[in-house]
Amino acid sequence: MVTLQGVVPLDARRFQVDFQCGCSVHPRPDIAIHFNPRFHTTKPHVICNTLYLERWQAEARWPRLGLQRGASFLILFLFGNEEMKVSVNGQHFLHYRYRLPLSRVDTLGIFGDILVEAVGFLNISPFAEGGIEYPVGYEVPCSRALPKGLWPGQVIVLRGLVLPEPKDLTLSLRDEAAHVPVTLRASFADRTLAWIAPWGCKKLISAPFLFYPRRFFEVLLLCQEGGLKLALNGQGLGATGVHRQVLEQLRELRISGSVQLYCVHC
C-alpha cells in the first residue's frame, strides 16, 4: 500500500501519480499505472492508463471525482495480485487491472498541481487475516504477543498515522510478570523522545523530533546483542542497553497514545 497526503490548490488543473518502470527522461520510461485527476474540464474526472514503449494504451475514465480544489486529501493505493484499488478520503473510488508486471515498478513520480505533505509505503500486508477491504487502522491501545521473547536479529515494525492533536506515543515491552523493563515514549508537548527505565528514570534521545500531526511514521526496533537499536522514519537514533536474559523473557509489546496504527509486525 502507498499512501499520499496533500492539498489540491484552488487553481489546480490536473496532477498525476505515476508508478514507473525506471526514472529516465529520454527515452521516457514505461508507466505501469498512471493516475491522473483532472479538474479543469466541465466534468472533473480521473484518467488511468499505461504507457508502454512511449505509447499510451486505451485510457480508463472515472467520473465523480472525489477530490476538491482547496481541500486536503488522503489517497490509498492498494496493490493486489491482479489489480490496484484506490480510495480517496476513506471511500473506494476505482480499481485498475495491471497491464504491465508490477515487479517492474521501481519509481514513484508525482507531477502537476498538487501540494504533497506526506508519502508512505507499507510493504507488509495491512489486512487482518482473511480481509480484503481497505485497512482502516488499529485503534490503540493495542498489544502483540512475543511468545518467544526477543532475540538478536529480530525486528519490531510499527507504521501508522499521528492524530490531529497528539499528546504522546508509548511503546512498552513487558515480561510474564507484567514488569516493564523497556519503554519508549514520544511527548508532543515538549517534542522529546526518550527511553524510560523501569524505575522511572528518563533518558532523552538526542535527535530531531520526527513525529508530526496527520503524518505517517515508521518505528523500527532492532534487537541486537545487549540491547535494542531504534530507527524512526528511516533515520537511526541510537540504541539502549538491555541484558539478553531480559530480552528473552519479554512476552508482550503494548502501544498506546495519539496514533492510528496500520502495521504492527513482530
Model confidence pLDDT, tens digit, residues 187-240: 999 999 999 988 778 899 988 898 988 888 889 999 988 899 999 988 889 889
CA dist., res. 28 & res. 12, Å (int): 25
Q: Does the structure show a pLDDT above 90 at 185? A: yes
Residue 95 host element (H or E): strand 91-97
CATH code: domain 142-265 is: 2.60.120.200
**Counting beta carbons within 10 angstroms of the beta carbon of residue 150, is it exposed (0 to 12), middle (13 to 18) or buried (19 or more)?**
buried
Q: Look at residue 177 in the predicted model and tell me its pLDDT.
A: 85
Q: What is the pLDDT of residues 118-160, one digit of tens each?
A: 888 876 544 444 455 556 567 789 999 999 999 998 999 898 8
Q: Look at residue 14 in the predicted model and tell me its pLDDT.
A: 97
CA dist., res. 209 & res. 224, Å (int): 24
Q: Look at residue 74 in the predicted model and tell me its pLDDT.
A: 87
CATH 2.60.120.200 domain locations along the chain: 2-121, 142-265
Q: Look at residue 108 in the predicted model and tell me its pLDDT.
A: 96
Q: Does the structure show a pLDDT above 50 at 96? A: yes
Q: What is the mean pLDDT of the chain?
A: 89
Side chain identity, residue 7: V
- Of 44-58, 66-80, 187-201, where does the model show the most confidence? 44-58
C-alpha count within 13 angstroms, C-beta hemisphere, residue 74: 12
Q: Look at residue 137 in the predicted model and tell me its pLDDT.
A: 66
Beta carbons within 8 Å of 101's beta carbon, 6+ residues apart? 32
CATH code: domain 2-121 is: 2.60.120.200
Q: Does the structure show a pLDDT above 90 at 165? A: yes
Nine-digit cell string for 3: 499512501
CA dist., res. 229 & res. 223, Å (int): 6
CA dist., res. 34 & res. 109, Å (int): 9
How many C-beta neighbours within 10 Å does residue 81 have? Answer: 6
